[in-house]
Amino acid sequence: MHLQRWLAIVAIIGAIIFAIGYGFMPRPVPADIVKVSRGPMSVTIEEEGKTRVKDRFILSAPVAGFMRRIELEAGDPVKKGQPLIELEPLRSTVLDPRSRAEAEAAVEAAEAALKAAQENVSAATADAEYAKSNLERIKRLYEAGYVAKETFDQAESEAKRTESIRLSAEAQVKVARSELEKVRASLFDLTSSGVKNRHRIVTILAPVEGRILKIHRESEGVVNSGDALVEIGDPGKLEVRVEVLSTDAVKIKPGTPVLFERWGGDSPLSGRVRIVEPAGFTKISSLGVEEQRVLVVADITSLPENWQGLGDEYRVEAQFIIWEAKDVLQVLASALFRKDDKWAVFAVENNRSRLREVEVGQRNGLIAEILSGLAEGEIVITHPSDLIKDGIRVKQR
């Protein structure tokens, strides 16, 4: 009886000691784990871009004039040499009451000057006719020997002088008539002169075959020389313009493959870089930070029937593939951390974490290439917290 009691007491004390010891034992730390695997990998640079018609023609006004309304619309096809825009001569301005009164007075003055000039012509003509007939009479007398040669010379000179005066008077009539037409023109209503002066209209023709991309000015009105009016191009020949950071632009070369995503289609489009412009520019980001960017131009190499819906100035997201391989030992980049000046991971061996130094190759932000330090199939901890130490027990979260 006493033995059974002592055994019960010993069992109770042992259970208490075991419970106390178990309570002080370190428990496994929960952690996220992932396997090291092999597979394809690529390193890309992603930026937003816009499509643009390659050969764009902007038709502008060659001279200042009054443009007639453009009947075409954006998207309409045009042929080379097709008339697109008609410019009439600039129309006269509307006179205010004071200016009209001044113009009417100027017309009356010009009419009076014309009448005076015409009267002068009549007087000069009479003098010239008298001098001519007098010259003929004195010439007959001179030939008969009844007058001296001096008298004949005076009559001849007088005839020439009066003829010159008559011609001058007729010229003054032409000047006065032109002046009258000039002042009368200021009173004319020339708002419909384009129809009457069809031969004076300037017609702008389409330089190439394509479609109208944009109409800058549709309604009729006055345009200045050099004003942009219509843009023409072929939407079937598109390129993509992407503004990338200058630090990324040095990694992109002509011929670099590109994928265009989120353009509205079901699958991404392929492309290839054609130009990396040598000069950069400063651009303010949406956060107000100054950035040095470089313009990269890429061609779409996918079949045209796969992107018929794209047009000019459409948004796309470009992924420049600067490195890729088909069989790469890789791990999630979130498993990596810096230890001194090297990369390291926590591998899981027998439910315990083991610190491993690794050599890392290419990285794309999500995945990192492992050159040494890990093998395919090994398990590593991602996002290791401060509780993860070398040699502690871990369990999958």
Same domain (yes/no): 86, 224: yes
Same domain (yes/no): 228, 80: yes
pLDDT given for residue 234 in this prediction: 86
d(CA 380, CA 378): 7
Same domain (yes/no): 239, 321: yes
In sequence order, the 6+-apart residues with CB closer than 8 A to the CB of 100 are 187
**Domain assignment of residue 21, yes or no:** no
Instruction: Let me know: does 318 contact 259? Beta carbons within 8 Å.
Output: yes
**Domain assignment of residue 389, yes or no:** yes
Residues 19-32, mean pLDDT to the nearest whole number: 68
Same domain (yes/no): 241, 321: yes
Same domain (yes/no): 50, 116: no
Q: Exposed e or buried b for every residue in 57-88, given b needs 16+ CB within 10 A?
A: eebebeeebbbeebebeeeeebeeeeebbbbb
**Domain assignment of residue 17, yes or no:** no
46-94 pLDDT tens trace:
999 999 998 889 999 988 888 889 888 888 899 999 999 988 887 766 6
The CATH number of residue 228's host domain is 2.40.50.100
The CATH number of residue 299's host domain is 2.40.30.170
Instruction: Let me know: does 282 contact 291? Beta carbons within 8 Å.
Output: yes
Same domain (yes/no): 226, 368: no
Is 118 strand, coil or helix?
Answer: helix
Same domain (yes/no): 383, 243: no
Same domain (yes/no): 103, 181: yes
**Domain assignment of residue 7, yes or no:** no
pLDDT given for residue 23 in this prediction: 53
d(CA 34, CA 335): 9
Read off the pLDDT band of 305 (50, 70, 90).
confident
329: closest CA among 362, 373, 371?
371
Q: Fill in the amino acid letter for 10.
A: V
**Domain assignment of residue 287, yes or no:** yes
Domain total of the chain: 4
- Give yes or no for residue 289 having a pLDDT over 60: yes
368: closest CA among 323, 328, 316?
328
Same domain (yes/no): 303, 272: yes
Same domain (yes/no): 283, 340: no
d(CA 115, CA 76): 59
d(CA 194, CA 107): 25
User: Which of 188, 219, 250 corresponds to the end of one domain?
Assistant: 188
Q: Which domain holds residue 359?
A: 28-41+327-396
pTM here is 0.64
**Domain assignment of residue 181, yes or no:** yes
113-124 pLDDT tens trace:
888 888 888 888
**Domain assignment of residue 16, yes or no:** no
Instruction: Let me know: does 319 contact 259? Beta carbons within 8 Å.
Output: yes
172: closest CA among 365, 180, 149?
180
Residues 354-369, mean pLDDT to the nearest whole number: 91
Instruction: Let me know: does 310 contact 238? Beta carbons within 8 Å.
Output: yes
Give, to the nearest 10 degrees, the angle between helix 149-185 and helix 97-144: 160
Same domain (yes/no): 184, 213: no
Q: Fill in the amino acid letter for 16.
A: I
d(CA 118, CA 111): 11
Instruction: Let me know: does 38 contact 376? Beta carbons within 8 Å.
Output: yes
Range with the largest mean pLDDT of 184-188, 193-197, 202-206: 202-206
- Give yes or no for residue 17 having a pLDDT over 80: no
The CATH number of residue 339's host domain is 2.40.420.20
**Domain assignment of residue 174, yes or no:** yes
Residues 354-376, mean pLDDT to the nearest whole number: 92
124-160 pLDDT tens trace:
888 888 888 888 888 888 788 777 888 878 888 888 8
